Amino acid sequence: MGSTTILNRPQAASALSASPKVVKNNKSLASSSAAPLTYGCNHIEKPLQGPTEGNKMRVLYGSATRVALDSSRAHAQTCEKCKFLITRTFLCMQCPSIYCPKDAEAHYKEKNHRFGIDSRSGHVYCFPCQDFIYDPALEKIRVEKEVAMEGGARKRRRLDDIKPSPEDLKYIESNTTLAPCRATGLRGFLNMGSTCFMSVVLQSLIHNPLVRNFYLADGHKPKECAQANCMSCAMEEVFSEFFATDKTDGFGPVNLLTTSWKCEQTLAGYQQQDAHEYLQFLLNQLHATNGGNTDTKTEQCKCIIHRAFYGNLQSDVTCEGCQNVTTAVDPVMDLSLDLRKKDKRKLATPKTEGDGAMQTLQECLERFTSTEKLGMNEYNCENCSGHQEVATKQLTVKRLPPVLCIQLKRFEHGSTKSSKIDTKIRFPMQLDMAPYTTRAKRKAKDGSTDCGPKSSLKGHGPYLYDLLSVVVHTGQINSGHYINFSRENGQWFRFDDSVVTLATEKDVLSAKAYLLFYIIRSLT
């Protein structure tokens, strides 16, 4: 329950990663442990502090800013490497080079020139941060160059209008805390008494880019929220702690835990809970507290939870007497897959590592979407009189969600006892969901083969998923422990309560997964 341990934390490598969020509060920085805002980020602080390098960078920045703000200078919009004339380029702040965003990234990696100047505005972009930064000294140079290029009698008045007043500076200081470059969400949770089930679910959401970007973009505003016991307000607090403060010690989400207790009495107390059940509870609460519709069958819900997690499952029941097909389409937030193979009326135990080839996730999905016979009196055909003894049922995925959550049903609860299926299921880093869709199954019945298992690998983006997070349950059913593997900027990490360690793909793929989170490779 001590400090979070992080091994070999990688640099941020993708511009798609969410930027650190500026958190407004009622405390002045003077009373905070954080230092006053002096430099744009940690990376630019050291070079600007050096008398020689700092002066050189300021001169280069002033010259580059003048070029960037002059709309008549077309060469500022031309990449030196690819020679394309585009609307946005970066002027290197450490050498006289101009590149498009892609080549500017390559230039940074090759020369370690970390800062570029946006040719459209003159603002500074930090490549290690993967974000634009605000540096007071450089911003003053930019504003002065901008005003000087306007000329005329309005020059001095224009400069005075742009400069923040003492009141503005005081307001900024009292309502802003530092959002350092190192705040990347790599932080653990304190175990507050068998709360690992909650920690692993939260880690899966924190490293989900759709959910993360929603909260970091003020998708939910606690100051404007009037809801009592709002789970979304508690979730926003977690994101603020993970992405807006430079802390690496374990965080105790007390507010989220107690709010969970108030919203669901069965969660109250410190007994171990099921991670899948808590995930469903949390997603339903976030749906309700983010403007979600109460009746999603008549109107499509536009809340972040439905947009990210919800798909449609189609059920087709066919009467073998008259071939009448009864179809129902229902919304689902996850797929729950059986691990036991059905052989007529007997359940056969899945193969384990010692029994030869182990089961795969694809085999479980194939069983889930295969045709099964219904028992006597389980189906009443509308076209036939009386109950039909012979009917078949098939489930298929009608619409895939951007984030696909899969539960591997490891826990079995009987009337007298409960047990856990501890066998390993092999799952892939990339999952092709095309074979399990309604369209593919219909084509298979018609004898067509153009939607086979390899179809999405040829460019069908809506069916191809990448592994994002894995939740693992270790130990016995009543005394086990949950851990999480999540991917951040292309690197895997292992989250075990407050301890965060570097992981490899082999570590992830060898885990006995309970919950799998896949994210769509392309949204187009």
Distance CA 431, CA 438 (A): 17
Beta-strand runs (E) in 77-210: 90-92, 98-99, 115-118, 124-126, 131-133
Distance CA 507, CA 502 (A): 10
* Alpha-carbon distance values, 34 to 129, 244, 452 (Å): 19, 12, 57
**Quick check: helix, strand or coil at residue 503?**
strand
CB–CB of 499/220 below 8 Å? Answer: no
- Choose the catalytic residue: 43, 123, 460, 481: 481
Tell me if residue 75 is catalytic.
no
Distance CA 205, CA 235 (A): 10
Cα atoms found within 13 Å of the Cα of residue 478, Cβ hemisphere only: 4
133 forms beta bridges with: 124
**Quick check: helix, strand or coil at residue 60?**
helix
Chain mean position to CA 408: 21
- Choose the catalytic residue: 100, 126, 181, 196: 196
Paired tokens of 226 = 């009037």
Tell me if residue 196 is catalytic.
yes
Distance CA 358, CA 513 (A): 14
**Quick check: helix, strand or coil at residue 314?**
strand
Q: Catalytic positions, please? A: 196, 481
